[in-house]
Amino acid sequence: MRTVILTSSNIVGTGNNTLEYNFPTTATFRNDYIAVASVSLYYSWFNISQAFANNTFSYRWGTTTFGPYTIPDGLYEVSDLNDYLQTIFIDNSHYLVDKATGLNVYFGEFVINPAQYSVQINLYSVPSVVGEIPSADYTIPSGWAYPPGAGTSLGLSLGLQLGALLGYTTDQVGVFAIDITLTATSVDFSQRNTGATVIPPYIQYSVQSNTAPNIQPNSTVLISVDGVDNPYSAPTGVIYAFSPNVAVGDIIVEKPPQLCWVKLREGQFRSLRVKLLGSFSQSGLSIRDPAMTIIMAIADEQEALGFQKTK
């Protein structure tokens, strides 16, 4: 059995997903097999990007629509998406500041609901007229504008693929992706007074995703070898698959408990090309960190299959 080691020095092209090993001399394969012996690389490929068309959302402040906003390509958890949403609220002065705590008060959020295995969207009623915000308790940011139109509403609209990422289907709450809006009969901000205390924001609408969130579309990495012709696989060169079992940014170390041998095409080869594909797009992953090591094992039929083939 022989081994071939590929590292970042073997990367060719863009995306850090294709590695090419040049044999010292032409290799001749006849009844030879190949298997993945080990893989180590950092969990650094994006889950939200323009290429996936899952990076847009809009929201309504009363009857005015803001957006669509484009989320920068990146690797996001639900908490990161919530932070980005609230950054947009800050940019548009659609928030308040609690004087007692110094913390910002927002009127919409993404949260994880672990008990329901879902992503939950919470929307809160917005003060609609002057005088509804107690000046003793809250600071109004510069640029604040009361929402025009009917009532105390905030609406959130997610692009189709972003909705799918979070587990929402097109028919769950609207005619397109996600269209969540508080009704005009929502409780006014001023009606939430309990004696001398006002505790905003007061939740008016909460909805949970109705399918399992798939926050990482490319949750499985497929390893493809161009010298393999596997008629039962699509793409035909795929010989192995693994999933990240670490946190974002940590190193993935994958070592099969048993080598899974796949027959190489017969012929002469000057090089061996290995490609890392995504399970969602089945195209090359866009891997941010090029630091990686892939060890491939090559063996003849007897070594790989453990028996002497009879003539």
What is the rounded average pLDDT for all residues in the chain? 84
pLDDT for the residue 300: 93
Q: How far is CA 192 from CA 95, 154, 187, in A?
A: 17, 17, 8
- The pLDDT of 269-280, averaged and rounded, is 93
Least confident of 152-156, 224-228, 257-261: 152-156
Kindly report, residue by residue over 137-180, the tens digit of the pLDDT. 889 999 998 887 655 567 788 888 888 899 887 655 443 345 55
Q: CB neighbours (10 Å) of residue 86?
A: 18
261: pLDDT strictly greater than 80: yes
Q: Is 8 helix (H, G, I), strand (E, B) or coil?
A: helix
pLDDT for the residue 153: 62
Pick among 1.10.3470, 2.60.120, 1.10.20, 2.30.42: CATH of 2-45+218-305? 2.60.120
pTM: 0.78
- The ranges of the chain annotated as CATH 2.60.120 are 2-45+218-305
Kindly report, residue by residue over 162-174, the tens digit of the pLDDT. 888 998 876 554 4
52: pLDDT strictly greater than 90: no
In degrees, to the nearest 5, what angle opens at C-alpha 78 toward C-alphas 122 and 65?
50
Partner residues linked to 70 by β-bridges: 56
Two tokens at 220? 């499985």
pLDDT for the residue 191: 41
